[in-house]
Amino acid sequence: MKRVLTIFAAITIAALLLAIGYFSGRYTPSSSTSLVAATSEAQDKKVLYWYDTMVPEQHFDHPGLSPMGMKMVPKYADEGADASIVRIDPTTVQNLGIRTVPVQHRVLASVSQVPGTVTWDLRQATTVSARVDGVVSQLYVRAPYTAITAGEPLATMLAPEWNSAIAEYSALQQAQSSDAKALRAAARQRLDVMGLTDADIRSAHRSSTGGITVHATASGVITALDVREGQRVSAGQTLMTVNGLSTVWVEAALPQVTAGTVRHGTPVTVVVDALPGREFRGTVETLLPDIDTMTRTQRARIVLDNADGALSPGMFASVRIAPANGEAVPVVPSDALITSGSEARVIVVEGNGHFRPVSVRTGRSSEGYTEILGGLQGNEKVVVSGQFLIDSEASLSGALDRLDTHSSQPAPAASAPMSGMHMGDQP
């Protein structure tokens, strides 16, 4: 009886196993069928090229190993229609601390602080020279940078030519005939050419030596003393140079961006370290036409009143320039800019975790903002925190090549080195 039961149990178990195999075969597709379907789907995609994910800018028309020995992956036609876009998963965005702000339109504060130097007002410079050959018999000013006043004696000269001209003029003073009067007028004109005034003529008559004293024509400072007492001089030789101090120039060094906003009459405020707490106000007289080849700055000439002589040439000055406000322009935080040599770019938010590097042309900067002259319309959002990580990813994957207008092929999509970041994904 036990034997019969054992045989019956074995038959029952075999029947159950056959039933399970039958139904599994009907409702579970074979692995070979799945593999064929996947292969067919891959063959339906058009391969544009193969590339090494470590060197994505190199493209090849056949699969295999790259020059670096890495297995190349295909780039399909329907993958990443715009390879210049970087996609970051929302979780990664939060972990990276990426912060974005909209592009604003605002009038940049135009006040600029630039260095300057106080110099002589060369319009007040006068040169005292010898009109005739002579000898400096007495020198009243013996050191440079001596302050003088108008009419003050500077030097006494002995000049035979002066003495003969004065004697000729004096001899004709009592002339009555028309010819004699004409000669007297010619003698007086000769004295004028020699620079002698009526006071000089009277002084020569009173002098026992016949010397003539040269007087200062204006107040100022002797900036150059070119002769010494007892020295023989020739006609036209410079004796000394006098500079006035009632006004001074301040030459401010303007960066070229600031120079473009400065005009004649632009108001300025000048302060000097030697006079703390005191401000001097003036206007820009002109922009000098030369550019300093070392600093690439342009000089602005500012005229300041200096009636009390407080400003001295050579003083260092700090110049605050306030050009007239202009129109509102698109601006971005200066921290959002990524500069590379003379080029600049920003990371623009495309939405849904997509970002795009955009080349921009910048203008003036003020109060933490930079003017955008080209590249943005003014209604975008830009990344101001974490943009360098996105830019590095774009550079690694070749997305920055899309900024080159001469590029003929789109940059390939590559696997991102940071978790959750993909190139070329579409929203």
Region for residue 375 given its phi and psi (left: phi exceeds 0; alpha: psi -120 to 50; beta: otherwise): left
Residues 6+ apart with CB under 8 A from 14: none
Question: Residue with structure tokens 């295909």?
Answer: 74
Q: Measure CA of the first residue to CA of the last residue in the chain; give whole Å.
A: 74
| Residue 303 φ then ψ, to 5° | -105, 125
pLDDT of residue 171: 75
Sequence spans of domains, the chain:
1-44, 46-79, 86-108+327-423, 112-121+245-321, 128-236
Question: Residue with structure tokens 């200096």?
Answer: 306
Residue 15 reports pLDDT greater than 90: no
Tally of CB atoms within 10 A around 210: 15
Q: What is the DSSP letter of 81?
A: S
What is the chain's mean pLDDT, rounded? 77
Tell me the per-residue pLDDT of 221-237, one tens digit each, with 9 for 90 and over. 999 999 999 999 998 89
> What 3-state class would DSSP assign to 198?
helix
Residues 6+ apart with CB under 8 A from 409: 59
Residue 245 reports pLDDT greater than 70: yes
Q: Which stretch of 184-198, 218-232, 288-302 has the lowest confidence by average pLDDT?
A: 184-198
Asked if 259 and 323 touch (Cβ cutoff 8 Å), the reply is no
* Residues forming a β-bridge with 268: 282, 321
- What is the C-alpha to C-alpha distance for residues 158 and 236, in angstroms, rounded to an integer? 15
Q: Which of 422, 418, 413, 320 is nearest to 366 (CA)?
A: 320
Tally of CB atoms within 10 A around 399: 29
pTM above 0.75, yes or no: no
Q: Which of 330, 340, 344, 349 is nearest to 390 (CA)?
A: 349
- What is the C-alpha to C-alpha distance for residues 361 and 253, in angstroms, rounded to an integer? 24
Burial 8-20, CB ≥16 within 10 A → b, else e: eeeeeeeeeeeee
Tokens of 279: 């401000």
pLDDT of residue 228: 93
- The CATH number of 112-121+245-321, from 3.40.50.970, 3.40.50.150, 3.30.1360.120, 2.40.30.170, is 2.40.30.170
* Residues forming a β-bridge with 304: 248
- What is the C-alpha to C-alpha distance for residues 271 and 282, in angstroms, rounded to an integer? 11
Residue 54 reports pLDDT greater than 70: no
CATH top-level class of 86-108+327-423: mainly beta
| Residue 178 φ then ψ, to 5° | -65, -35
Structure confidence at residue 2 as a pLDDT band (50, 70, 90): low
- Which of the pair, 5 or 288, is modelled with greater confidence? 288
Using CB atoms within 10 A of its CB, is residue 218 exposed (0-12), middle (13-18) or buried (19+)? middle
* Residues forming a β-bridge with 365: 370
Region 88-115: mean pLDDT is: 78
Tell me the per-residue pLDDT of 135-161, one tens digit each, with 9 for 90 and over. 999 999 999 999 999 889 999 888 888
